[in-house]
Amino acid sequence: MASTLQSLDEEVKGYPTTVEVPLTAANIIAMYTTPVLVVPAVSNKAIVVDSVEFIITRTATQFTGGGVVSVQYNSTANGAGTSVQASTIAATVVTGAAGVTYTTRPPASLSDVATASIKGIGLYISNATAVFATGTGTAVVRVTYRTV
């Protein structure tokens, strides 16, 4: 029985880990074409997300343009990667009036996903449609995840 417990313990990769990545205005504006790394790839392991949080501090100089925001597997430009969230974050969260807001998203359901699609691949934040422009705010993306 002890060997079974040890074997199960080896399969459980540990407790969830949380990372916080600050985003400058330049990061937010550029992430349409240059997604920002949130969680580096873990060799021979898949990153499974428990939650995504997005905290933005908007200033009087509002961001314009842009499109929905998501954390995704890989650095695919234009937010075209496989999202780790159940739903995207609306562009209006970024382009809204001055102030601090908090947005959270549950994870996407993963079912019958080929391991090659997620194993050894990092997580990046990007947005769809167009670049955000002119804004001077900042943000923090917080991701809680496990590796399997």
pLDDT in tens, 106-145: 999 888 877 778 999 999 999 999 999 989 999 999 999 9
The confidence score (pLDDT) of residue 6 equals 38
Determine the straight-line distance between the first and last CA of the chain, rounded to whole angstroms. 23
What are the CA-CA distances from residue 64 to residues 16, 74, 90, 94 (Å)?
35, 26, 13, 8
- Single-letter code of the amino acid located at 126: S
Q: Which residues, including other chains, have CB under 8 Å from residue 53's CB and lie 6 or more apart?
A: 102, 103, 104, 105, 140, 141, 142, 143
Query: Mean pLDDT throughout 40-47?
Result: 93
Token pair for 56: 């933005």
Q: pLDDT digits over 61-114, tens only? A: 999 999 999 999 999 999 998 899 999 999 999 999 999 999 999 999 888 877
Closest CA to 127 of 85, 99, 57, 5: 85
The confidence score (pLDDT) of residue 14 equals 62
